[in-house]
Amino acid sequence: MNVNVNENRIIKEFTDLVSIDSESFGERGIADEITAKLRELGFSVTEDNAGDFYGGNAGNIYGLLKGSADKQPILLSAHMDTVSPGCGKKAILRDDGTVTSSGATVLGADDIAGVVEILEGVRAVIESGEEHGDIEVLFPIGEEVYLKGTNRFDFGRIRSKLAYVFDMSGDVGAAAFRAPSLISFTLTVRGKAAHAGFAPENGINALAAASAAISRLDQGRIDEDTTFNVGTISGGTARNIVAEVCTVTGEVRSYSHERAEAQIELLKSEFERSAQIFGAEVFMDTTTEITAYRIAEDSDVIAKFKKACRDIGIEPRLTSTFGGSDNHNFVKNGISGAVISCGMYNVHSVREYTKVEELIKGSRLAARLILNQ
């Protein structure tokens, strides 16, 4: 099957798209551009109202290109938003084929690399004239803020049973078959204010109570599957007042959802113990941001990924990711999905970059995934 991608077109499209400001919930410009490109390719396109729910200016973009009923449909996805600093981005093509930002902003390869690879892969398939099944694409908003876009998406409209999310760092050819749960927490310890000089014995120091609890908890890598982190501690009103309130925030991640919940319970018990010792009160709020999943390594979605890689001359690699992606919500909604690398590096930093050769490989992979259904 003769399917060719266009290097110059890839470079231009990537350069053009990363120049559009698209920080989370400010994706209007990129959403309009992607919508126009999809319609040019023959997709029927709809935009939902997820952005309205969060006070943003755009919704999730869903497209469907009808194909042969004899072939299985496929869903390809990459998110539209970028992290901060992401306004005023400009792609700079270096002599060695790397693409960087100016150094003042992120590049936005996370996840415009994925967007471009999907668009070019679809174009290559259309231009080849090869038969394909239905192609579904989903370009969500708000992925960088705990998948908020796909949290509001109506998955009942998805026809595909298999999905590939182009949203992982590293060279093209890797697929993550498992990803963790992430539970965030906020603990509020309430003591009693008093003058620190004249009557400290009348106070209950919330900072001290929180610190005592934290000191009894291991942090960092708890076991090979689990991490725990206290990220912020704040409280008190003045240096001469016993701190009445202390707020502690952090997160737990684990490939085992049960282990993550157990760590949260341990955290709660230690803070309650401190509150009892000091005579304080403690209040705890938790949010399960993402829920762990594991895709069988012999599943159809992985088998087709491996074949597509080998068809374009890349040896496939299976790995794990300890981050979140929209694939969490795909799996949660009954779609067998894999998050795959799309040639982005040093993401979430002003040192972010991509490589032209990886954008080309990712585009070829997208095309082959479509044709191999």
Share of the chain above pLDDT 70, in %: 99
Confidence at residue 272, expressed as pLDDT on a 0 to 100 scale: 98
Q: Which fold has domain 7-179+292-371?
A: Aminopeptidase (3.40.630)
pLDDT, tens digit, for every residue of 137-162?
999 999 999 999 999 999 999 999 99
Which residues contact residue 179 at a Cβ distance below 8 angstroms, ignoring those fewer than 6 apart?
255, 290, 292, 293, 320, 321, 322, 323, 324, 325, 327, 328, 339
pLDDT at 64: 98
How large is the average pLDDT for residues 348-364?
Answer: 97
pLDDT at 3 over 90: no
Q: Which of 176, 179, 158 is nearest to 75 (CA)?
A: 158
Region 119-148 average pLDDT: 96
Largest alpha-carbon pair distance within the chain? 85
Question: Which amino acid belongs to residue 113?
Answer: A
pLDDT of residue 373: 84
Each residue of 181-191: pLDDT tens digit?
A: 999 999 999 99
Supply the mean pLDDT for the chain.
97
Q: Using alpha carbons, select from 45, 197, 200 the residue that is nearest to residue 122.
A: 45
Mean pLDDT of 175-180: 96
Asked if residue 266 lies in contact with residue 228, where contact means CB atoms within 8 angstroms, the answer is: no
Of 134, 143, 244, 289, the catalytic one is 143
Dihedral pair phi/psi, residue 87, rounded to 5°:
-105, 135
Tell me: pLDDT of 1 over 60. Answer: no
Predicted local confidence at residue 187, as pLDDT? 98
Which sign, positive or negative, has the C-alpha torsion 105, 83, 56, 18? Answer: positive
Angle between helices 28-40 and 7-18 (to 10 degrees): 150
**Tokens 């076991």 label which residue?**
223
Q: According to the model, what pLDDT value does residue 2 have?
A: 66
Query: pLDDT for 33-50, tens place per residue?
Result: 999 999 999 999 999 999
* pLDDT at position 248: 98
Is 143 a known active-site residue? yes
Residue 259 reports pLDDT greater than 80: yes
Rounded to the nearest 10 degrees, the angle between the axes of helix 356-371 and helix 7-18 is 110
Give the mean model confidence (pLDDT) for residues 284-305: 96
CA dihedral over 171, 175, 179, 184, signed as positive or negative: positive
How are beta strands 181-190 and 317-320 bridged, if at all?
Answer: unpaired
181-290: in CATH 3.40.228.10: no
Residue 136 is predicted with a pLDDT of: 98
Can you spell out the DSSP letters for 234-250? EE-S-TTB---EEEEEE
Residues in the chain, total: 373
DSSP structure string for 176-188: EEEE-EEEEEEEE
Question: Is 265 one of the catalytic residues?
Answer: no
Which one is catalytic: 23, 27, 81, 111? 81
**Model confidence at 313: pLDDT above 70:** yes
Domain boundaries, the chain: 7-179+292-371, 181-290
Instruction: State how far the Cα of 203 lies from the Cα of 208, in Å rounded to an integer.
Output: 11
Mean per-residue pLDDT for 86-94? 96
Tell me the average pLDDT across 123-135.
Answer: 96
